[in-house]
Structure 1
Amino acid sequence: MNTVSTALDQATLNSLSERFASDPAARVAQNAVTTTSVDKLSLDRGIVTSIDISMSNKVDTWKAANQKQSGRCWLFSGLNFLRGQVIGKLKLDDGFEFSQNYQHYWDKLEKANWFLTAMTELADRDLDDRTVHQLLADPIGDGGQWDMFVSLVKKYGVVPKYAMPETESSSNTRAMNKQLAAILRRGALLVRDGATRGAADEARLAVLEQIHRVLTIHLGTPPTSFCWQYRDKDKNFVSGGELTPLEFAKQVLTVDVADYVCLVNDPRPSSEYLKTYTVDQLGNVVGGRPILYLNTEISQLKKIVADIICAGRPVWFGCDTVQQSDRERGIWDAALHDYEGLYGIEMGTTKADRMLTGESLMTHAMLFTGVDLVDGTPRRWRVENSWGDDKADKGFFTMNDSWFDQYVFEVAVPKPALSAEQLAALDIEPRVLPLWDPLGALA
């Protein structure tokens, strides 16, 4: 069979260089990009100046939180979802927060158990099996999903931040995660070896004890109970007594997170709308709430979110935050950066194609706290990020509706917000996607 060489020869290299040198626009771009950030040069000034932060409907009255150097956005946004409503109910100071470190601790311990359980179940597969390899690649990362948040709250409750404050390692997780991953990868070998001798569970528990020890050294000891008392905005002193985390959750939370379900927008041809999906080996709490998505057209998803905000409640969501964004200004728009104009090449793709090729997937979770409606149609959205209050509108970002279409993937909404057809679809047996599918991404 005749083959054509694809090696880069000198003639091809010379031709590429000559064409570049003869293009004035390319030379100007080179001069600019070699001295200035490409994201600054590509920023569309017209879009930037057209964005204002006013909203026809806004629910936030609290201060933005800060996850610092950690990947806990899904926990922060989940707890932000809860705290805003508790602040209103109890007339708390607008800086009140639940302990993110408390949830983080239990998530890590549960993820370790989830990983070791999976290693036991998959012990008959080779280490280079794709699912086993995917688990080993990130055995105990910071990321998560809404259903994983639900599992934690239902099992462990919540506590105020003072009951388990931040530590160096909760705010900067890289060093801790490196050690935990090393312990678990070694543990995977021990569990797999134990499985051949009928001693996998013994090995699992031994490794879990090591993980527990390291976690407690880094994050502190979670409280089994604490004294709940505060002074409200009217200067009234309130004492709730000594409470366990589950008792506290039952007393103060205004919603049951278990009543919320995940809608996703997955426009790939292989993903039908009004069908449910789950992901193999994805989760954190063994025996907890399984991952479940209902695939929904973007127009329906947006209407549900807007209706919830207009009714006075925020909405947890997952998205690909780095795409077409300006972190300092705190804005998103589908065409915010004109990379095509800067480079002089075509770069346009669809949301489905970006998912299929790995260009885009959920990378971050935040909270919708506002929507600007014009004749009932969303124009832009207000978002509580968890990157502190020194950016955007004191930590609250602005998203043009065009960005929602392209880069929002998932929202958590109460079941009563769904149509009868959508509720019926939730009872359909979900299609199981592999762990490496884009819908397996963790925020």
Structure 2
Amino acid sequence: MTNDKQAAISSDQIARYQAQLKERADAKVVERAVTHQGILATSADYASDTDMTPVFSIELETGKVANQKQSGRCWMFAALNTMRHHLADLFHLSDFELSQNYTNFWDKFEKSNYFYQNVLKTADQPLNSRKVAFLMATPQQDGGQWDMLCAIIEKYGIVPKSVMPETYSSSKSSELNKTLNEKLRKDAITLRALVVKGASDSDIATARDKMLGEVYRLLCYTLGEPAQKFDFEYRDDDKNYHIDRDLTPKSFYDKYVGWNLADYVSIINAPTADKPYNKTYTIEMLGNVVGGRQVKHLNVTMADFKQLAIAQLKDGQSVWFGCDVGQSSDRQKGIMDTHAFNKNELLDIDLNMTKAQRLDYGDSLMTHAMVITGVDLVDGQPTKWKVENSWGDKVGTKGYFVMSDSWMDEYCYQVVVNKKYLSDELRQAQSEAPTMLEPWDPMGALAAN
């Protein structure tokens, strides 16, 4: 193994690198371009614009896109969008949104309790243990996964956006997240101290109850208090007036959405050696509702992954999916394409890695959730996909993006489909008990962009 003295950069090395650079005829041209425009703009391949024309052989009409603004609730917006598509079709309500603030309130409340539970479970471990350090790094955040949204809806239902609209702190969440995480870390000090001194379960429960009461108050101050009963008043697309009185959030969900959320399962593509295909996985310390729905993924090949999404689209239902949106993506144009930028050619550096290598070496993981609303099939095979984002209508094509099929191969990690589309073999695999992964596994990443 090379020692530190041998590994130190020498002046001879630097002189050699300088000479090599001078020998390159294009060095100054590239330098001038990149210093003025940056790597991405200089390496942009405009042929991608033509290939990613937003026309699709299968396309669902899903209306105006939503806007999560300065918050990390993409997973929540995407999930509620799939439900509002169904609701809008059924009740003729094209300009309608479900309340993302309502689910956000209960998610943060439940995440706080989930954090307390994990603090108590790890209270016998030192502060510098990897699990405790992981837990304290981010006690809670805006991000999440599909199963976590299901856990909230199964317990609390949902409401129309008119019943619990956005607030300053829901649309611009950094102040609330910082304050709530301060409180949770302070509470962790108290809970760990109680365990160390051998406090009774009753004393710990009393302290925890007080903490949760304070969290509830903080969330009410910043997000507003959730409605327990409400009237749903609206005009449909034909201008007909409707009013439905004395609804609860759960009765509203049952009547206006009515999905059996147990039928919708998470499918992932993680081609790493530690995750064999056709097996299920869960992640330690990942969740929000204590005693609620567990995060559970079925890992499948990319061919199965795509065909499941296509089957659901063909039946007229959009598809929630999770991806690494920052990779080879032009936010303003709304293009996600492996050929959108050619950094290798510009820099003459080989940056290629396999999907598995990116996951194993920390170069990629799920960062964002959106909704697939269309696909272009040529000879039965997908070439590009239509994507509904939640960044408002000023980006992409009125908020809609185009994703190349090759980009899906490389940077898509999760889709959610009705399990009726699974083959008998996959359905059996999905029903099996999951393997527990470490808390920091990339499949435990929260969509939060």
Query: TM-score, structure 1 length as denominator?
Result: 0.98
**Residues 1:57 and 2:58 are matched in the alignment:** yes
Segment of structure 1 superposing worse, 102-111 or 17-26 = 17-26
RMSD over aligned CA atoms reads 1.3
- 1:254: Cα distance to partner? 4.3
Q: Which of 423, 431, 435 is the equivalent residue of 2:427?
A: 423
Give the structure 1 partner of residue 47 of structure 2.
Answer: 46
How far is the alpha carbon of 1:2 from its aligned partner? Answer: 8.4
| Alignment-derived partner of residue 157 in structure 1 | 157
- Rounded Cα–Cα distance in structure 2 between residues aligned with 1:382 and 1:145: 21
- Equivalent position of 2:23 in the other structure: 22
Gap regions ≥5 residues in structure 1 = none
Question: Residue 256 of structure 1: CA displacement?
Answer: 2.2
Alpha carbons 1:70, 1:173 under 8 Å: kept: yes
Q: TM-score, normalised by structure 2?
A: 0.96
- Specify the alignment match of 1:142 in structure 2: 142
Among candidates 355, 359, 362, match of residue 358 of structure 1: 362
The residue number in structure 2 matching 1:230 is: 234
Counterparts of 2:220 and 2:266 in 1: how far apart (Å)? 32
Question: Percent identity at matched positions?
Answer: 42
**Secondary structure class of the residue paired with 2:162:** helix
Determine the structure 2 residue equivalent to 1:441: 445
Structure 2 counterpart of 1:219: 223
CA distance in 1, matches of 2:410, 2:29: 31
8 Å contact kept, 1:86–1:254 = no
Q: Deviations over 1:12-56 (max 9, x none)?
A: 222222222332323221111111132111111112222210111
Alignment partner of 1:215: what SS?
helix
Counterpart residue number, 1:318: 322
* Equivalent AA in structure 2 for residue 353 of structure 1: Q
Once residues 136 and 352 of structure 1 are traced to their aligned partners in structure 2, the CA distance between those partners, rounded to angstroms, is 28
Does structure 1 conserve the Cα–Cα contact (< 8 Å) formed by 2:62 and 2:373? no
Shift of 1:203: 2.5
Moved more, 266-275 or 251-260: 251-260
* Aligned residue-pair number: 442
Q: Which residue of 2 aligns with 1:413?
A: 417
Q: How does 1:315-394 map onto structure 2 within 5 Å? A: 315-394=319-398
Task: Tell me, in whole angstroms, the C-alpha distance in 1 between the residues paired with 2:382 and 2:68.
Answer: 29
Counterpart of 1:278?
282
* Map of 2:14 onto structure 1: 13
Query: Partner letter of residue 385 of structure 2?
Result: W
* Equivalent position amino acid for 2:79 in 1: G
Amino acid at match of 1:55: F
Letter in 2 for 1:66: N
Cα distance in 1 for partners of 2:62, 2:75 equals: 20
Q: How far apart, CA to CA, are the structure 2 residues paired with 1:2 and 1:417? A: 54
What is the DSSP-based 3-state SS (H/G/I as helix, E as strand, rest coil) of the residue aligned with 1:368?
Answer: strand
Contact 2:159/2:252 (CA < 8 Å) preserved in 1?
Answer: yes
Q: Deviations over 1:274-331 (max 9, x none)?
A: 0111100100000110011110000111011011101100000100011010000001
Instruction: Tell me the amino acid that sits aligned with residue 33 of structure 1.
Output: V
Give the deviation of 1:132 after TM superposition: 1.4
Unpaired runs of at least 5, structure 2: none
Contact between 1:120 and 1:200, CA under 8 Å: does it hold in 2? no
1:28 is matched by which residue type in structure 2?
V
Whichever residue aligns with residue 120 of structure 2, its letter is: T
Contact 1:228-1:243 at 8 Å conserved across structures? yes
The whole-number CA distance in structure 1 between the counterparts of 2:415 and 2:152 is 18
Give yes or no for contact 1:82–1:254 (8 Å, CA) kept in 2: no
What are the Cα deviations for residues 214-249 of structure 1, in whole angstroms up to 9, with x where unaligned?
A: 111111111111111211111211111121101111
